[in-house]
Structures are given as structure tokens and as C-alpha cells.
Amino acid sequence: MNVRSFRLSDYMPATELLKASLSEECCEKTLAALARQLKLEGELVVVAELEEDSDVKIVGVAIGTIDSNNGYYYRLAVHPDYRSQGIGKALVQKLEQKFQQRQVKNIMIAADEHTEVVLPWFEQLGYGAQHVLRSLKKLRIVTG
């Protein structure tokens, strides 16, 4: 598996992955935030790719953002066929490195009704309640 920064050529495969991984409402919000984040700083969008039968396939996407000197995991999506294989963890680790390189004050999880289900998973990675932001209206990638 290779985890790397998003490239323009990833847009269509990443969109298809988000559609396969998220509810319709969540996907719509996520695509809007993805577009805003790519305008702000595309380096904070990362993808996980696997090579299968000489074909490279995007199997995970993580959207991060920096706002008020805090780094936020906005959305994490792993294709349903590839879950529980460490892909999500690798995406989080890559974004965490990028946040640390930018010397953010805190690393937080941007939580909404769509991410509540993954909060226990983030907790296993060491992110507790103090790392959760539930008021996303403050984030530029949400409000535009």
C-alpha cells in the first residue's frame, strides 16, 4: 500500500470511492469540502492506493484541513471491500505527519453526525474526547 498526497488525476477515482463508502448526504457534503480543501491546500488530502493485477486502485481517502492553527481530520473513507486492513490508520498517520510538519497547535477530529460512528476507532488511535470538534461551522472547508 502507498499513501500519498492527492493528485488532480485522483479526483474521479476518489469521487467514486466516496460514493461507495459514504451515505448520499455525507458524500455530497464531503465532495463540497474536498473541493474547498483542494483550493486551500491540496497537500492535506491524502489517498491510499493498492496495486492489484498491475492496476493501481485508490482504496482510501482522508481529507484534512488546518484552521486557526489546528489540524483537523475532516473525513476519512475506506472502500468497503478494503476495511479492517490498516488503510484508515495509514491515512491518519500520513495526515498526522503533515500536521506535525506544519507545527499545528492541536490535532483534532471534526465530528458531525456522519463521523460519530468512527470516534471509538479514533479513540483506539489515541484521540480522546478532548480531540473532538463538534461545531464544524467554524471550519473554512465547511462554510466556504
Residue, of 120 and 79, whose pLDDT is higher: 79
Give the residue from 119, 64, 74, 61 showing the smallest Cα distance to 97. 64
**Residue 139: which pLDDT band, with cuts at 50, 70 and 90?**
confident
CB neighbours (10 Å) of residue 51? 10
Name the pTM for this structure. Answer: 0.91
Phi and psi angles of residue 61, each rounded to the nearest 5 degrees, phi first: -140, 140
Q: Is the pLDDT of residue 119 over 80?
A: yes
Give the residue from 124, 112, 142 showing the smallest Cα distance to 22. 112
Q: What is the pLDDT of residue 104?
A: 95
Q: What is the pLDDT of residue 63?
A: 97
